[in-house]
Chain A
Amino acid sequence: MKLQGLNKSFGANHVLQDIDLELPERATTVIVGPSGSGKSTLLRSLNLLERPESGLYQLADLQIDFSKKIPAKQVLDVRKKTGMVFQDYNLFPHKSVLQNVIEGPVQVLKRDKNEATKEAYELLAKVGLKEKADFYPDQLSGGQAQRVAIARSLAMHPEYILLDEPTSALDPELEGEVLKVLADLANEKQSLIIVTHNLFFARQIATKIVFVEDGRIIFDGPTKDFFNEQQKNTRIHDFISSMTFTDIDEGTVNN
């Protein structure tokens, strides 16, 4: 996955400025940055939920030029290759957990319903929610809902799973169960791209960190380097210090 010269504005607000980025396969990339830095817009562009005005986007054998109209067929191909997990889950409230998971495979991939159901149970087992298959979203805790959302995106067999602040809407005690599922996926070499505020988690799971500020990429490199860079780079230093007042103490990050 590769981006070249991506630009996106909302009115006068230039949220993405000439973004060049490579997002490796079978790795976990974590995108961090202050609120309003453009990191979510960047992530959502990868699933084409946002359409940048210009730039090139390469995803496996797909080539997309954002300055041109993207054909529906290509949009569909991109969406098949990229699963999306949202901050507030966005499960379908009128469908059971199982129906949420099989909706994409059956309706979009036109897979056999029994086969999709069988796999859905396996995916739900994987996220620890097999016994909740017949529940409805409103009967789940936030952590459970987010794990269903992860299962729903896995059911499409995407090449990349994009997660937009997947634990930001969760109480701290529920965050752990979602992070554990993500850590398992990372260990299985599922390609993940995660936008998060949780630097402690980023440090544990990320192979690579991308730091975005004011629509520009300030840092793009291995996780270890990011945390070492803070002595030299004041912006990274300021960002890490501003983030570390709750979950992590400075000592943990610095050692």
Chain B
Amino acid sequence: MWDIITSSLPQILAAGIKFTIPLALISFAIGLALALITALVRISHRGGAFSIIKGIFRFYVWLFRSTPLLVQLFIVYFGLPYLRIPGVLENGIKFSPFIAGIITFSLNTGAYASETIRASISSVPNGQWEAASSIGMTRGQTLRRIVLPQAFRISVPPLANSFISLVKDTSLAASITIVEMFEVSQQIAAQNYQPLIMYTLVAVVYAVFCSILTFGQGYLEKKTNQHLDQTEG
């Protein structure tokens, strides 16, 4: 059994470094930026033509939270090449598997994380907004300097949750031909007929990755809570 592990683990880890980790990191970074923009648009008080933009973002969040991630991957990778609009788009939209993965994972993470960020912003007490506006700070200044730093602290645990989910969800990328860790373990299992060992092994590798993230979450929570230990427990 050790032979199987020692011979296949390097291949799994290589796939992790080449695909799983970049997919998760890049998608989370883009997703987070998207989530922040989405949350800020949705909490904006602006009306008029801006309501249309708000509607678009609301639709985006609804769409990605209401459909399975696997189906989203299939639409972006297998479906979009067939999106043909005569005169405008003759050849469909084609992405490499990796780019299709990044796009889908980013949009999916962004939709969920935007709700986390929106909730974190609303959980900052109204008194903070009032105190900031009472000294003449604009809404933008208040958000940037007063509300978002406090919202960030609140959002660390749920965002870490999203990140951990995303790391595991990248295994779905196997279905759009990305040779990430799970795909590699499937391929090896097909050759050596040891599915129990192979899938357990890849599960352990995912668990190790996620444990590192959990550790990072603990560190970040401690760091962002350092001045609030008495009130926040």
Binding site for B on A (CB under 8 A): 47, 49, 72, 76, 79-80, 82-84, 86, 88, 90-94, 96, 103-104, 107-109, 136-139, 152-153, 156
Contacts and interface: CB of A to CB of B under 8 A. Distances in A.
Contact of B153 (A76, A91, A94, A152): A94
Interface string B200-231: 00000000000000000000000000011111
Task: Give the dominant DSSP class at B's interface.
Answer: helix
Interface residues on B, range: 20 to 34
Contact of A107 (B133, B145, B153): B145
Contacts of B228: 93-94, 136, 138
A76 B230 contact: no
Interface in B110-162: 125, 127-128, 130-138, 141, 145-146, 149-150, 153
B150 A94 contact: yes
B99 to A, nearest CB: 38
A72 B145 CA distance: 19
A152 B135 contact: yes
Which 10 A-B pairs give the minimum distances between C-beta atoms? Answer: A84-B134, A90-B131, A104-B135, A136-B227, A90-B127, A79-B136, A108-B136, A138-B231, A138-B230, A94-B149
Contacts of A83: 134-135
Contacts of A91: 131
Contacts of A96: 227
B228 to A, nearest CB: 6
A50 to B, nearest CB: 10
Contacts of A49: 130, 133-134
Interface of B: 125, 127-128, 130-138, 141, 145-146, 149-150, 153, 227-231
Contacts of B230: 138-139
Contacts of A136: 227-228
Contact of A76 (B130, B136, B227): B136
A32 to B, nearest CB: 22
Contacts of B146: 92
13 contacts: A49-B130, A80-B136, A83-B134, A84-B134, A86-B131, A92-B146, A93-B227, A93-B231, A103-B137, A104-B136, A104-B137, A107-B137, A108-B141
A155 to B, nearest CB: 8
Nearest to B153: A94
A148 B136 CA distance: 18
A109 B229 CA distance: 32
A94 B135 CA distance: 17
A10 to B, nearest CB: 15
B127 A88 contact: yes
Given A92-B146, A94-B149, A107-B137, A84 B131 contact: yes
Nearest to B150: A94
Given A94-B227, A138-B231, A156 B135 contact: yes
A49 B128 CA distance: 12
A134 to B, nearest CB: 11
Nearest to A84: B134
Given A88-B127, A90-B130, A94-B227, A108 B150 contact: no
Contacts of A93: 150, 227-228, 231
Contacts of B231: 93, 138
A84 B137 CA distance: 13
Of B128, B134, B137, B229, most A-chain CB atoms within 10 Å: B134
A153 B135 CA distance: 7
A109 B137 CA distance: 10
A90 B137 contact: no
Contacts of A156: 135-136
A209 B36 CA distance: 48
Nearest to B227: A136
A90 B128 contact: yes
A187 B131 CA distance: 26
Of A72, A92, A96, A153, most B-chain CB atoms within 10 Å: A92
Nearest to B152: A94
A133 B152 CA distance: 25
Nearest to A82: B134
Contacts of A108: 135-137, 141
